[in-house]
Structure 1
Amino acid sequence: MKLSLNLRQCAWMVVVGVGFWMTACTKDPEVTPQSPVGSTPSKADQSVNNWILENMREVYYWNDKIPANLDTTQDPESFFYSLLYDYTNKANPERDRFSWIQPSADELKSSLSGEEKTTGLEVQYFLRAQGSTDVIIKVLYALPGSPAAKAGLKRGDIITSINGQKLTTGNYASLAYDPTTFNYGLAKLENGKIVDTDVVKTVTAEVVQQNPVFLDSIYAIGGKTVGYLVYNQFIPGPNGSATPIYDQKLEQVFSKFKARGVNELVLDLRYNPGGYVSSSVKLASMIAKGVDNTKTYYRMEYNKDVMAEIAKENQTDDLITRFQTKSQNIGGNLSRVFILTTEGTASASELIINGLKPFMPVITIGETTYGKNVGSITISDETGKIKWGMQPIVFKSFNALNQSDYSTGFTPTIAKTEPLAVKQLGDIDELYLNTALSQITGSVTARISAEQGAKLPAIGSTVERRAGGSNMFIERKALNF
């Protein structure tokens, strides 16, 4: 048997979103494409569908669940989703809710490296009041140097209108995503109430490359030296760059942590839907206690056909990815690690949590994570004749203790939900960070009890949408059995 995709010797695994998704308010990507009524499939569509089916039968994790009776006359998008395991059955947490396909393989690859056309805002949506159809947008953060940041938008800002239209449940998705230029109408909080203002910020979307190392700080508090890192996507370097600039920045941060004697770590993955596992391995290798390149970080399991070939060739060691021996490792000074989470904390972020658990206590603060213990590969046509790109699930991951029981997410050790009024990231009064610092110092401060303010019904966030459209993937290489 000859496989055209290397599903074993993986250098990369990623969990990323396709753009800042603004179109839904559930955790699952709601994609149920339909062919136009009365449409006639083209020969090109038939060719694409044959290509899709051939690859899916070979590498798809649930290839034994591909339906026997298939309609290959559908458009490629509809056909692809018709192959997915139990895709529409929300009662099944083990179903495939993560595989996806795009008309442009080039755009797919760019998005996986953090490059996209965007204003630079990461946001959360709320109903303006219980039972209301009015919607507000809270800014979680603005990418440094992005159009939004240059316009003065920042974490905690509240948007109630776009291009002169008040946001509602019927229009917020299209207004927040469709235009290129956005006139954001802002509101403010007064005595816990949302009050519209005359302030308008005008922002034009442009292609932005995200630097995932958002913020790092060191705090000397309660006799402890606390390192704090906000890391928003697992990306080695800018799109198209052969230099892992962002990985190098991570190493610089941990070199500083080590030099300053950091003995408590708070890793903020609230807004991280995932990223390249090569970066995940590096980060985990600088945190875990007592690890080196002989210790297992995670193990992969593929479909039965691939696993049979691997066993036949006695190459099961290729299923294991080990930690790296890193001079920047601070695990020797740590007795535990605190990780801040939301429902958008997914995949490679969850891989960090699962991979560290066998080696040290992991205390999570925030919300239940997304629940993604599976990964995928990027598949494109090497001849260039087919322009589509697809990202099918091809494996499931397990930690060193053979654990992979988080398809419904990791329940937080300490449950917290961000209030509408928020402090800036890195501020010791900010709710999540302050909760971690209070655990570290052993004193519950007055700041924790001040977790008050407007509590509105949340209806989704761009972080969750990025998580819903994300996957762990492994790089394609030639493989011969």
Structure 2
Amino acid sequence: MKTHHPQLSSCLLYFYMFDIFIASRHLCRRNVVPLAFVLLSTACKKNETVNPAPPGPDQSRTALTLDSLYFYAKELYLWNNQLPTQQQFNPRQYLGDGTSEMDQVKKTLFVLSQFAINPVTSQPYERHPSQTGVAKYSTVLDYLQSGGTPVAVNTLKGAGESFGLGLVAIGSNDIRIQYAIRGSSADNAGVRRGLRVTKVNSRPVSTTESYYDFVQSAFQNSAVELMIKDEDSGTERLATLYQSNYSADPVHKDSIFRLGQRNIGYFSFHYFSPASNARTALSPIFQRFINAQITDLIIDLRYNGGGYLNTCKYIANVIGPAASDRRVMFSEHYNAVMQRGESPLLAKQYIYDGNNQPVMLGDRLATLADIDFSVASNTTFFDHEYGLHQLRKIYFIVSDKTASAAELLINVLKPYMPVTLIGVSSAGNTPVRTYGKPVGFFDIRIDHYKVYMSMFQDKNANNEGDYFDGMPTDISRPDDARYNFGDTRDPALRAAIDAIAPGALPRIASQERLSSTDNNFHVKEIPVSAPMFNGLIKDNWRFLK
């Protein structure tokens, strides 16, 4: 039974109307602000069941957005029981101060995210490991900036406008291609991981802060020229890249290594794109692995920040051992309010399909209030169709960027088969932990924002899922960007193969080891593309009966 939240005020009734208006505006593709004020005039009646409280003097859209953000968090946030009351928090305190509306929304969400304390660490669950003023999990995006879909999620779906590559400085005057997404302009120009960049727009490379600024500025244009060198062959050539929309392939590289009695499959997976896209990319690879009767599998997730839940399920069903079939894969745990179905605000959130179109439930629009958020209805079981169900062992190459759906894939396999984690970092043999994001979310639309706040925690068949501080790795190796994905000179891939088939690979010459670079150099990634979305996005629903 749905109930009113006891602290809803007449101001919140405004937000109800405001959110309905925003949803209708999205459906009708109109922007008629006065409608919200017309709705307000009929919203507050004398027989309201809520406790009336006069709204603050500021009725601007920004003020109402901040209020709405608080009330949604109070109902939906995973650790909502640790949030203060509205009076204690006062979201409107973050209005103004000369910053943009987006900055005010981000600030409000960040402060809300810092109240919940992890009893194990005595630190906020959402304390970011390296950035101040940024939540570790929760985020907000402006979905009207890219025709109805946030830029970062567009990139996750493989339809973002970017050059589709990463750059990293690994030594004095040595900048390398860190990755190039298949299907992107960089990929089409023959750019791949490991190539050395010697010039950007005719300017010779220099590993200084001023040069890094120059590179980032160059990539703000619609086109950029890179002089790239293949140090294996010694050839150098010019590659012109264009910022453009592209249909991306989330797989960087796949290979089969036949070494003695072992057939080893390998693929590097950049992000968990929607299941339809991932299936298209992975199905032929998995079929080749099946035909080759691979005995062991290496999955490279070093730059994988996660993505869609259904894609994680798909991969797990293909590579999970035979004994896992029909057994628990994972369960989703929402807060008590959501599990009891006592979140009235969910009725204000329409459900959209993969094409950003509203979902119909009979003759009406479906809302999130129609969804069952109990643990029982959100427990997923392995359901094998075809696949690699006789693998001896799986090795995952990870880093501190490996997060959410990537971590979940590792976690769901652990109860059923041996799993080894090989951690890579610029520091080399320093112990590595993954990012630590055992939580997921779906978007909440407030005005023209999509808010992704921590909503559920995933746990495997053994009820394990408290890796908020990351998963520890078993082996540590340098992340050597001089070598392409799948190159056996890569220290991480080499470590996995050596563990599977000891002595099967020839020894690496000393000049091919990372120690040949400047040991005192501070490795630096140079941001030249829109950041990939980091999170676990729920994209499957079970409706209430």
- C-alpha deviation, 1:356, in angstroms: 0.8
The residue that corresponds to 1:263 in the other structure is 295
Q: CA-to-partner distance for each residue in 1:170-191, whole Å, 9 max, x for gaps? A: 562543653333233557879x
The amino acid of 1:94's aligned partner reads: Y
SS at match of 1:326: coil
User: CA 1:100 to 1:352, structure 2 compared with 1: closer, same or farther past 3 Å?
Assistant: same
User: CA 1:49 to 1:3, structure 2 compared with 1: closer, same or farther past 3 Å?
Assistant: farther
Structure 1: which 5+ runs fail to align? 5-39, 130-134, 238-243
- C-alpha deviation, 1:139, in angstroms: 0.9
User: CA 1:267 to 1:476, structure 2 compared with 1: closer, same or farther past 3 Å?
Assistant: closer
SS at match of 2:534: coil
| 2:407 maps to 1:346 | no
Q: CA RMSD in A?
A: 3.7
Matches within 5 A, 1:398-413: 398-413=459-474
The residue that corresponds to 2:160 in the other structure is 116
The residue that corresponds to 2:240 in the other structure is 202
- C-alpha deviation, 1:308, in angstroms: 4.6
Q: TM-score, normalized by length of structure 2?
A: 0.68
- C-alpha deviation, 1:315, in angstroms: 4.6
The residue that corresponds to 2:7 in the other structure is none
Q: Distance in 1 between matches of 2:529 and 2:380?
A: 27
- C-alpha deviation, 1:199, in angstroms: 6.3
The answer to whether the 8 A contact 1:273-1:346 is kept is yes
| 2:250 maps to 1:222 | no
| 2:103 maps to 1:63 | no
Decide which of 428, 432, 435 is 2:492's aligned counterpart: 432
| 2:434 maps to 1:417 | no
The residue that corresponds to 1:17 in the other structure is none
- C-alpha deviation, 1:280, in angstroms: 0.7
The amino acid of 1:429's aligned partner reads: R
- C-alpha deviation, 1:286, in angstroms: 1.4
Matches within 5 A, 1:317-336: 317-328=376-387, 330-332=388-390, 334-336=391-393
- C-alpha deviation, 1:462, in angstroms: 5.8
| 2:505 maps to 1:451 | no
| 2:149 maps to 1:107 | yes
- C-alpha deviation, 1:479, in angstroms: 5.8
Count the aligned residue pairs: 419
The amino acid of 1:407's aligned partner reads: F
Q: TM-score, normalized by length of structure 1?
A: 0.76
SS at match of 2:401: coil
SS at match of 2:78: coil
Q: Distance in 2 between matches of 1:477 and 1:205?
A: 35
SS at match of 2:209: coil
- Which moves more between the two structures, 81-90 or 337-346? 81-90
The amino acid of 1:262's aligned partner reads: I
- C-alpha deviation, 1:221, in angstroms: 0.8
Structure 2: which 5+ runs fail to align? 5-56, 96-100, 127-134, 343-371, 425-431
SS at match of 1:393: coil
SS at match of 1:52: helix
Q: Distance in 2 between matches of 1:412 and 1:110?
A: 31
Q: CA-to-partner distance for each residue in 1:364-414, whole Å, 9 max, x for gaps? A: 123332221111111225xxxx22111111011111111123222222211
The residue that corresponds to 2:39 in the other structure is none
The residue that corresponds to 1:14 in the other structure is none
SS at match of 1:286: helix
Decide which of 186, 197, 200 is 1:159's aligned counterpart: 197
SS at match of 1:421: coil
- C-alpha deviation, 1:325, in angstroms: 1.7
Identity of counterpart residues, as a percentage?
A: 24
Matches within 5 A, 1:9-88: 43-67=60-84, 68-72=88-92, 74=95, 75=101, 76-86=105-115
The answer to whether the 8 A contact 2:321-2:416 is kept is yes
Q: Distance in 1 between matches of 2:472 and 2:539?
A: 31
The residue that corresponds to 1:471 in the other structure is 535
User: CA 1:445 to 1:280, structure 2 compared with 1: closer, same or farther past 3 Å?
Assistant: same
- C-alpha deviation, 1:83, in angstroms: 2.0
Q: Distance in 1 between matches of 2:329 and 2:258?
A: 31
The residue that corresponds to 2:440 in the other structure is 375
User: CA 1:198 to 1:415, structure 2 compared with 1: closer, same or farther past 3 Å?
Assistant: closer
- C-alpha deviation, 1:214, in angstroms: 3.0
SS at match of 2:376: helix
The answer to whether the 8 A contact 1:114-1:209 is kept is yes
Q: Distance in 2 between matches of 1:271 and 1:314?
A: 31
Runs of 4+, deviation exceeding 6 Å: 87-91, 187-190
Decide which of 414, 418, 437 is 1:361's aligned counterpart: 418
| 2:159 maps to 1:98 | no
The residue that corresponds to 1:12 in the other structure is none
The answer to whether the 8 A contact 1:110-1:116 is kept is yes
The answer to whether the 8 A contact 1:87-1:97 is kept is no
- C-alpha deviation, 1:337, in angstroms: 0.8
The answer to whether the 8 A contact 1:273-1:463 is kept is no
The amino acid of 2:196's aligned partner reads: I
The residue that corresponds to 2:334 in the other structure is 302
Matches within 5 A, 1:283-298: 283-298=315-330
- C-alpha deviation, 1:272, in angstroms: 1.7
Q: CA-to-partner distance for each residue in 1:210-239, whole Å, 9 max, x for gaps? A: 2113332222112211111222211235xx
Q: CA-to-partner distance for each residue in 1:312-331, whole Å, 9 max, x for gaps? A: x9953113122222222x22
User: CA 1:176 to 1:463, structure 2 compared with 1: closer, same or farther past 3 Å?
Assistant: closer
User: CA 1:336 to 1:198, structure 2 compared with 1: closer, same or farther past 3 Å?
Assistant: closer
The residue that corresponds to 1:172 in the other structure is 212
The answer to whether the 8 A contact 1:344-1:463 is kept is no
Mark the structure with the bigger radius of gyration.
2
User: Which protein has the bigger helix share?
Assistant: 2
Q: Distance in 1 between matches of 2:530 and 2:122?
A: 20
- Which moves more between the two structures, 337-346 or 141-150? 141-150
| 2:501 maps to 1:441 | yes
The answer to whether the 8 A contact 2:249-2:277 is kept is no
User: CA 1:214 to 1:273, structure 2 compared with 1: closer, same or farther past 3 Å?
Assistant: same
- C-alpha deviation, 1:200, in angstroms: 5.4
Matches within 5 A, 1:209-248: 209-236=247-274, 244-248=276-280
